[in-house]
Amino acid sequence: MSIETRPVTVNLGPQHPSTHGVFRMRVTFDGEEIVDVEPVFGYLHRGSEKLAEERTYSQIVTLTDRMDYVSSMLNNQAYILAVEKLCNIVPSPRGVWLRMIASELQRIASHFVATGFLLQDLGALGTPLIYCMRERENILDLFEMLCGARITNSYLRPGGVFMDAPEVFWPALDRSLGDIEKSIDEIEEYLSGNEIIFSRTKGTAVLSSESLVNASITGPMLRASGVDWDLRHRNPYDYYSDITFKRILHTASDNYARYWVRVQEMRESLKIISQCIKNIEPGPVRPSFDDVPRLVRPEPGDSYAAIEGSKGELGFYLVSDGGISPYRMHVRAPSLINLTLLREMLVGELFGDLFVIFGSVDLNMGEVDR
Amino acid sequence: MIGKGIPKGFIITLKNFFRTPVTVQYPDRKVSLFEYAKIHKKNIFKLFFSQPMLSIKISLGLISVPSSVEQSQRFRGNEFTFFEERCTVCASCAKYCPLGIIEIVSVPGGFDAQEGESYKLEVFDIDIGRCMFCGLCVEACPYDALHMGTKFEKSTYVRDNLIITKEKLAESEKSPSSFYRPQFEKKKFDPFKDNIDDHYKAGRHEKPEYKDLKKKWVDDR
Ligand code: SF4
Ligand code: SF4
């Protein structure tokens, strides 16, 4: 008599604590090994792109906050750049420096979340996640000083930001930069040399740089495979051309490389922020209402602006028909596009690594479904 | 497999074990006897001898005092501050709200000392059950009549109570946040300690002197 084994299909999610939101995977296992994955998403669809069609250009900023809710400032920035391109708005220098500071802070916060949750998925229950969240909390405090909200910021406006930073912000920013630097050191010291992390993440879910480029994957995932593609350097928006920073590259293209790239990028963001603080000069933070009214009415046409978001190339495509609200808005959401190689990453790996691999993509369901 | 990395990690968690906690207890927190005396401005020995039972209870951790989270001045809370005297019923706020949740009804028949006839505000409802506290309405108000509030403890059991009307706005405590109101920051107004009772103080300009007004409206004409 022989014992028959056959593959089992399991539904993971949508209500699963490790799926970073509401994401469902139909995974087929052969014993411990994954043979097939079918991602199912759309559970968090709110129709933001459709809602944008009946709101004015200044009101849509509030919708962009809610797409990738761990990096709202970056979403704001991408959207505002698209509007500025569409309406030919010349932004105020101080506003641009302020929004660069805000978006780099947001990038650090987002990478902290990504790192913390990756370690949580690895089984380091609680502790590293809490350390990362603690640092993120400092950054959110800074945002509260800037714009009065912690997550749904809506800080940016066409042409700059809505209000200058308060006096208490600058000393607090200086203090936080030191704190963040220290805590990145701490994370590196206790994680980057940790043998358990090495054995779990090194050599898992290796992707070739060709397949990454073919699937148009961007962000830390691409840079972890050695492709030097950073929009801040390739296609500088705002004042990134005046700023020097190192592009972080790794060649292994495995889970560890992705984690390492994120941690090193936080350091570079700190350097960018200190350069911004050096360069910032007094002046108005947004153009006067005579130049940029609250109700902008662009000429018919379209525009696409992309920034290097925390997860990859975040782009907004706007089509105007000459009215007060866009005819169509489309978001190039990096989280969604980075998911396209999920099957290639997972097939052949073990069940225990499933959520580690999933976490190393660093996706946000709010952005995947929009 | 086990090498240097894991003990290193334990040393860091041990270090963190002894650092002061960053968690803020809300809405109550336990106090020590020393802190309790400090809050109530009493001598710790006097407190102990006058109220021994209370002191023992405090030491056992049975007494808690209300505690609050530190907020920034620009905090966008869910209690709006509204000065009806400043409002001209222009309805910019209602137009600018992305969700369209501000309801304004105006009737002719108001009277303004300088301008003569004006509109009167009859209904001013904000449905904060659907509000997302983006602050765009405050940004749109050209006369500094509507401000974001700094309070946030406004939960109720009934949804209808979440519609804040003109009357509720008039009664509520006026501690506006300085979101989009740089004049409050310039004046060093602290919404967590002070109130603004006089609607003249909420504007971005000083209250004009009588002689300036007379010069502008009478002599120069
Ligand atoms: S805060 Fe935003 S959502 Fe709320 S009433 Fe004002 S404009 Fe509308
Ligand atoms: S925008 Fe200001 S002045 Fe105009 S109706 Fe609203 S609260 Fe009143």
Q: What pLDDT score does A248 carry? A: 85
Q: Does A150 reach chain B within 8 Å, measured CB to CB?
A: no
- CB-CB: which of B8, B16, B133 is closest to A193? B8
Average pLDDT over residues A345-364: 83
**Is pLDDT of A356 > 70?**
yes
- Residue B121, beta-bridge partner list: B106
Q: Is the dihedral of CA A354, A357, A359, A363 positive or negative?
A: negative
- The structure tokens 């073919």 sit at A214
B146 lines ligand 2 (CB under 6 A): yes
pLDDT digits (tens, 9 = 90+) for A195-240: 777 788 887 878 888 888 888 888 888 888 888 888 888 888 888 8
Could you report the per-residue pLDDT of B126-167, keeping only the tens digit for each?
A: 888 888 888 888 888 888 888 888 888 778 888 888 888 888
Instruction: Determine whether the interchain pair B96/A148 forms a contact, defined as Cβ–Cβ distance below 8 Å.
Output: no
Percent of chain A past pLDDT 70, that is, above it, reads: 100
> Using H for helix, E for strand and C for coil, what is the string for A262-297?
HHHHHHHHHHHHHHHHHHCCCCCCCCCCCCCCCCCC
> Using CA of residue B171, residue B177, residue B178, residue B181, what is the dihedral sign?
negative
- Residue B77 above 70 pLDDT? yes
pLDDT tens per residue, range A251-282: 888 888 888 888 888 888 888 998 888 888 88
pLDDT in tens, A166-178: 888 889 888 888 8
Q: At what angle do helices A255-279 and A93-122 cross, to 10 degrees?
A: 160
Is the CB of residue B91 below 6 angstroms from any atom belonging to ligand 2? yes
Nearest alpha carbon to residue A95 among A81, A109, A85, A111: A81
Looking at residue A225, its pLDDT comes to 87
Percent of chain B with pLDDT over 90: 0
Ligand 2 geometric centre to CA of B175 (Å): 18
Count chain A–chain B contacts defined by CB atoms under 8 A: 85
Report yes or no for ipTM above 0.85. no
Q: State both tokens at A112.
A: 């902290």
pLDDT, tens only, A89-144: 888 888 889 888 998 999 999 998 888 888 888 877 777 888 888 888 888 988 88
Per-residue pLDDT band for B10 (boundaries 50, 70, 90) equals confident
B113, pLDDT greater than 70:
no
CA dist., res. A41 & res. A370, Å (int): 11
User: What pLDDT does A317 receive?
Assistant: 92
Between CA A369 and CA A108 the distance in angstroms is: 23
Ligand 1 atom 6, closest CA: B137
Task: Please compute the mean of the pLDDT values over residues A321-338 and round it to a whole number.
Answer: 88
Cα separation of B98 and B103, whole Å? 13
Kindly give the number of the ligand 1 atom that is closest to the alpha carbon of B138: 6
**Contact criterion met (CB below 8 Å) for B96 and B136:** yes
**pLDDT tens for each residue of A42-72:** 888 888 888 888 888 888 888 888 888 888 8
Question: Is any ligand 2 atom within 6 A of the Cβ of residue B87?
Answer: yes
Per the model's pLDDT, the better-predicted residue between B95 and B199 turns out to be: B95
Which residue in A87, A158, A86, A77 sits closest to A303, CA to CA?
Answer: A86
pLDDT in tens, B95-108: 888 888 888 888 88
The residue in chain B having the minimum alpha-carbon distance to the alpha carbon of residue A150 is B75
CA distance A131 to A112: 9
Domains of chain A: 45-369 (1.10.645.10)
For residue A163, is pLDDT > 80?
A: yes
pLDDT band of residue B91 (cuts 50, 70, 90) is confident
Average pLDDT of the residues of chain A = 85
The full set of domains in chain B, from first to last, is 24-69 (no CATH), 77-207 (3.30.70.3270)
Q: Is the Cβ of A279 closer than 8 Å to some Cβ of chain B?
A: no
For residue B127, which atom of ligand 1 is closest to its CA? 5
**B24 burial type by CB count under 10 A (0-12 exposed, 13-18 middle, 19+ buried):** exposed
A10 pLDDT higher than 60: yes
* pTM reported for the whole predicted model: 0.87
Cβ of residue B93 lying under 6 Å from some atom of ligand 2 = yes
